[in-house]
Structure 1
Amino acid sequence: MRRWIPCLLLAVLAGAGAHGADWKRGIEHQRIADRGDGTYLNPVLAGDHPDPSVLRVGRDYYLTLSSFDAYPGLPLWHSRDLVNWQPIGHAIDTNVGAIWAPDLVRHDGRYYIYFPARTGQRRSNYVVWADAIEGPWSEPVDLGLEGYIDPGHAVGEDGKRYLFLSGGDYVQLSDDGLRVAGQPRHVYDGWRYPQDWDVEAYAQEGPKIAFRDGWYYMVTAVGGTAGPPTGHMVIAARSRSIHGPWQNAPGNPIVRTASRDEPWWSRGHATLVEDIAGRWWMLYHGYENGYWTLGRQALLEPVEWTPDGWFAAAGGDLGAPLPKPAGEAVPHGLTLSDDFRGGRLGPQWAFHDPAPGEARRLAFGDGVMSMQGKGRTPRDSSPLTVIATDPAYRFEVEMEIEPGAQGGVLLFYSERLYAGVGSNGEQFVMHRYGEERPAALAPSRTGGRLWMRVSNDRHILTVHTSSDGETWEKYPVQMEVSGYHHNVAGRFLALRPALYAAGDGRVHFRRFRYQALD
């Protein structure tokens, strides 16, 4: 086996054997909310799980969330206690653009997900439906509501179905929920915060409707979902009629990060849900203090109802354990490691902005995932990504690179911003700031085999390589990636571990392992 030489420095890699002995093989640990003593600690879904929409059906809770450019999209989760969540599939494969802020509902025994999506400059709202939560789900139906985001479904006192939209508008739906019946109308002006607060923008969005004791409650986000840590918030209004008038809660904002010293930033975009014991909760998202890169994580907070029929947040700053909701625990979480023996793409994986038929690039057999190359760099190769759940973590994979191909490991934010190392089987290419050094590798006539390991230790990216999976050499450039997030590059995404295959050949991946670090 040839010695691996980085094109950047044309020098022997340093640090042989580094980090080899401390790799905890075979045991994957991630953050789990349930503390096992009747309490939980946020987040209930660690890592990038923004805009959560939760639905209770009997003793079961179901959840979906924004998936943006990742497909399969609209991931579905199941819980019995709002704390322990288990994945049950996805609701969409067809790429209709970046999916934002969905609403999961059940009406007359059928499940619906209403969501906005954006492709280029066009933004519209869609719906998919299924007779069982596990699917099969329909192809997306375009509702033709351009210019709006964040639809929230409701049934009025007249028995008709409505979608509430960003900016305080709403529109009637057809009885089957698959068409718009009429034109949007303005119904709610929102609530205005003091002008001296540090926020991103007013941005009235995310309306979710709940019904209790003869009142419709509208829970809305304002203040912008990024920008200053103190920007995002949850406000509430209520009405006796779905058509208004809507009265603002005297306790607004219900939720807000008041100081950048709090453990969770930019908290907002809530859904109200009642548990099986009759207690109410809010599920919403927030950024972990100092970790914009992890994306917006799912947070659960108890709600207390006041004698005058309003509600207030009862969880404090969410930095301490809280009593769990009623209900039984299901197995929690999604294993990120993958031995590729499932015969198909595992539920932890998603392509970034895939083309139609993207999955045809993949083949599986005997513990190998083979990926046909696409494009020439990570930006045009639709990498496969997973959601990181921890401030510090490590992942590794074995790769066999065919002649003409290029493969590698990344921390991937978007096609404009990523970092990592790739190889054509003979030489390395460094990816940093969404650029390549050197700008391009010539295709190799022989290819090669190697192991690659990436550590992201609280924003410090380190890569190690090996020719046998036992003796490791440190790549001579480390990178700092704390700025790889929305406030720098837009798009509302998160920094994700990723694998890519580019060029004309195939890259064969074996034994992907993810491990949280202390």
Structure 2
Amino acid sequence: MRRRALAALLLAVSGAATAQVWRSDQGDGSYRNPVLYADYPDPDVIRVGRDYYFVSTTFVNVPGITILHSRDLINWTIATHVATELDGDPRYDLVGGNAYRKGLYAASLRHHDGTFYLAITPVGQKTRIYYAKSIRGPWRYHELDREAFDPGLFIEPDGRAYLATATTADGTITLLTLDRTLSKVTDARKIHYIKGAEGSKLIRRGDYYYLFNALPPRLALSVSRSHSLFGPWETRDQIDDRSGGHQGALVDLPGGAWFGFVMEDSGAIGRMTNFSPVFWENDWPVWGTPAAPGRVPARARKPIAGGAFAEPPSSDTFDRLTLGVQWQWNHNPDERRWSLTERPGWLRLRPTRAARFWEARNTLTQKGQGPASRGEVVLDLAHLAPGDRCGFGTLGQVSANLTATRGADGRASLAMEVTEDQVEGARTETRATVPLSGNRLWLRTEMDFKTSTGRVAYSEDGRRWRGLGGDFPLRFAWRTGTFQGEQFALFCYAPGESKGWVDVDSFTLSPVVLGEGARP
């Protein structure tokens, strides 16, 4: 109990200052990119008064559709998640297969006349327009009569609303006109064509409308302008991954200036969002500064001075009655199989039935943090039953896990297991197995995103650590996996029915010195 009290005190004293391993705000009026060194893809950012809101893709993580909040575009916290569950497909409950390539992505966020609106198209379903008076909800939605890929929502001051949509396979950009309730499509017109275009976003500045499109085949961003939403449009390329990113747009500042945001493919960690000053030449936005045009700077002056340091939470002692906003389940959870109240101050995970980790419900995740981070958990295995498979590691294109099991003789052991290329029938390699002498177990997972290398370690006293199984690769899961960067993952499953459980005392995130860490 003294150890728990000390851990809680250290977390309380350190507060947000040690929650992440990367700090964008440099404390001298400048910031460095990325503003969040983690997988926050498909950004859309708006300003409402002094407040900025940033919506990001979540795929099959639940709760879904993360919205972050900032006062200066640099220091962000998690404000809310829009969708409490995924619906419309039994595979979201991991029934009849998984839905890793589906879910919620590429939302567009707007605010008009006291209401927030969010357009999103669940993969394979019709487009939804979520709406709420408060950014924290409750959120409800209208479903349109069609599937609009990557819908870009735009609302005129008088309330006229539109969606711009395009798919890479075609490149034709279509503008859908919505009714006043944003619940029906009343018109659809083809307004422009850009080869390979998707991810449309619309803004207005002065006499021009501006249309931004991602061009995935070239990892580039284009901007088009017109005096009318219906065209004609003229188009220019802006930037690409070599100069800072390939999907994004602009957001206005209180004084009338503008700032850019753009997504960049960043390897195993996923797709990160950069923010950039912009300047204007002949009513065209140019990323960067006049001294270094056409490039997102690695470091720049903050767009709004004086903002307080803030960041999303990560470490957790599970002392609250609800999970922290940093946590998301892999697919919809089985609410009967987890609890924060059965043992106050602990997260209890009861095994869900699954043949392998990739198919297990109630795997609890949060984003891997760069440049290099260490997640550490403390487990109580006293009630682990024979057949249960519970532990900690990574979820992604490469899932590397420390899995605790108990044999029929009552003895517990720990295995380091690695599965790559998550397809049906993928082979799991057991690299090492060790016996355990007690029920208290400390587990570590380290991810070094500069070298795309991970490693794991364990301890039975919280002081002496042993690496297990050697290094493993980290990869972005764009072919057969989650289409996300590597995530930390807490899990508990069994091939059959189980009456056991595992209790999780805490999760602690800390930085890792690049190139170092626990090794066998």
Give the TM-score range, shorter chain: 0.7 to 0.9
The corresponding residue for 1:136 is: 138
Alignment partners' CA distance in 1, 2:30 and 2:79: 25
Q: How many residues align?
A: 450
The corresponding residue for 1:93 is: 84
The corresponding residue for 2:477 is: 486
The corresponding residue for 1:44 is: 35
The corresponding residue for 1:313 is: 287
More displaced stretch, 324-333 vs 44-53 = 324-333
Q: 1:427 to 1:133 in 2, by over 3 A?
A: same
Q: What letter corresponds to residue 481 of structure 1 in structure 2?
A: P
Kindly indicate whether the alpha-carbon contact (under 8 Å) linking 1:451 and 1:467 is maintained by their aligned counterparts in 2. yes
- 1:91-128 deviation digits (Å, cap 9, x = unpaired): 1112145111100111221101111211xxx2432221
Q: What letter corresponds to residue 466 of structure 1 in structure 2?
A: S
SS in 2 for 1:293: helix
Shift of 1:28: 4.3
Q: 1:128 to 1:438 in 2, by over 3 A?
A: same
Shift of 1:343: 1.6
Q: Which among 344, 367, 386 is matched to residue 366 of structure 2?
A: 386
Kindly indicate whether the alpha-carbon contact (under 8 Å) linking 2:19 and 2:311 is maintained by their aligned counterparts in 1. no
Alignment partners' CA distance in 2, 1:243 and 1:354: 40
1:245 aligns with 2:232: yes
Q: What letter corresponds to residue 390 of structure 1 in structure 2?
A: G
Q: Which among 214, 219, 228 is matched to residue 232 of structure 1?
A: 219
Shift of 1:492: 2.3
Shift of 1:449: 3.4
Q: 1:502 to 1:275 in 2, by over 3 A?
A: same
The corresponding residue for 1:30 is: 21
Q: What letter corresponds to residue 301 of structure 1 in structure 2?
A: S
Shift of 1:319: 5.1
The corresponding residue for 1:296 is: 271
1:395 aligns with 2:375: yes
SS in 1 for 2:380: strand
Q: What letter corresponds to residue 393 of structure 2 in structure 1?
A: L
Q: Which among 188, 201, 212 is matched to residue 192 of structure 2?
A: 188
| Percent pairwise identity | 26
Return 5+ residue gaps in structure 2 as ranges. 1-9, 88-101, 167-171, 407-411, 421-426, 514-520
Kindly indicate whether the alpha-carbon contact (under 8 Å) linking 2:373 and 2:446 is maintained by their aligned counterparts in 1. yes
- 1:72-99 deviation digits (Å, cap 9, x = unpaired): 1111111111111121111111214511
Shift of 1:270: 1.0
Kindly indicate whether the alpha-carbon contact (under 8 Å) linking 2:45 and 2:52 is maintained by their aligned counterparts in 1. yes
SS in 1 for 2:503: strand
The corresponding residue for 1:436 is: 428
Q: What letter corresponds to residue 257 of structure 2 in structure 1?
A: R
Q: 1:72 to 1:236 in 2, by over 3 A?
A: same
1:103 aligns with 2:108: yes
Kindly indicate whether the alpha-carbon contact (under 8 Å) linking 2:29 and 2:305 is maintained by their aligned counterparts in 1. no
Shift of 1:499: 0.6
Kindly indicate whether the alpha-carbon contact (under 8 Å) linking 2:65 and 2:105 is maintained by their aligned counterparts in 1. no
Shift of 1:362: 2.9
Kindly indicate whether the alpha-carbon contact (under 8 Å) linking 2:85 and 2:332 is maintained by their aligned counterparts in 1. no
Alignment partners' CA distance in 2, 1:447 and 1:142: 53
The corresponding residue for 1:218 is: 211
Shift of 1:501: 0.8
Alignment partners' CA distance in 2, 1:454 and 1:334: 20
Q: What letter corresponds to residue 366 of structure 2 in structure 1?
A: V
Q: What letter corresponds to residue 378 of structure 2 in structure 1?
A: E
Q: TM-score, normalised by structure 2?
A: 0.81
- 1:189-237 deviation digits (Å, cap 9, x = unpaired): 12x5xxxxxxxxx2x111111111121111111134xxxxxx3111111
Kindly indicate whether the alpha-carbon contact (under 8 Å) linking 1:56 and 1:62 is maintained by their aligned counterparts in 2. yes
Q: 1:490 to 1:413 in 2, by over 3 A?
A: closer
Kindly indicate whether the alpha-carbon contact (under 8 Å) linking 2:478 and 2:484 is maintained by their aligned counterparts in 1. no
Alignment partners' CA distance in 1, 2:297 and 2:150: 28
Q: 1:376 to 1:361 in 2, by over 3 A?
A: farther
- Residues 251-262 of structure 1: matches in 2 within 5 Å? 252-258=236-242
1:517 aligns with 2:496: no
1:466 aligns with 2:459: yes
Kindly indicate whether the alpha-carbon contact (under 8 Å) linking 1:169 and 1:186 is maintained by their aligned counterparts in 2. yes
The corresponding residue for 1:10 is: none
SS in 2 for 1:348: coil
Kindly indicate whether the alpha-carbon contact (under 8 Å) linking 1:80 and 1:327 is maintained by their aligned counterparts in 2. no
The corresponding residue for 2:126 is: 124
Alignment partners' CA distance in 1, 2:443 and 2:185: 51
Kindly indicate whether the alpha-carbon contact (under 8 Å) linking 1:409 and 1:500 is maintained by their aligned counterparts in 2. yes
Shift of 1:178: 2.2
Kindly indicate whether the alpha-carbon contact (under 8 Å) linking 1:151 and 1:206 is maintained by their aligned counterparts in 2. yes
Q: 1:29 to 1:54 in 2, by over 3 A?
A: closer
Q: 1:28 to 1:152 in 2, by over 3 A?
A: closer
SS in 1 for 2:358: helix
Shift of 1:158: 8.0
Shift of 1:180: 2.3
Q: Which among 399, 402, 425 is matched to residue 421 of structure 1?
A: 402
Alignment partners' CA distance in 2, 1:28 and 1:58: 28
More displaced stretch, 460-469 vs 334-343 = 460-469
Q: Which among 234, 242, 247 is matched to residue 269 of structure 1?
A: 247
Bigger relative contact order (CA 8 A; separation at least 6): 1
Alignment partners' CA distance in 2, 1:59 and 1:507: 44
SS in 2 for 1:175: coil
Q: 1:159 to 1:370 in 2, by over 3 A?
A: closer
Q: 1:472 to 1:275 in 2, by over 3 A?
A: same
Shift of 1:407: 0.7
The corresponding residue for 1:377 is: 356
Q: What letter corresponds to residue 412 of structure 1 in structure 2?
A: L
- 1:246-274 deviation digits (Å, cap 9, x = unpaired): 222xxx2111234xxx6x5xx11112111
1:342 aligns with 2:342: no
Alignment partners' CA distance in 2, 1:155 and 1:453: 47
Structure number with the higher helix fraction is 2
Q: 1:236 to 1:160 in 2, by over 3 A?
A: same
Alignment partners' CA distance in 2, 1:29 and 1:447: 31
Q: What letter corresponds to residue 137 of structure 2 in structure 1?
A: G
Q: 1:462 to 1:381 in 2, by over 3 A?
A: same
Q: 1:156 to 1:107 in 2, by over 3 A?
A: closer
Return 5+ residue gaps in structure 1 as ranges. 1-23, 193-201, 225-230
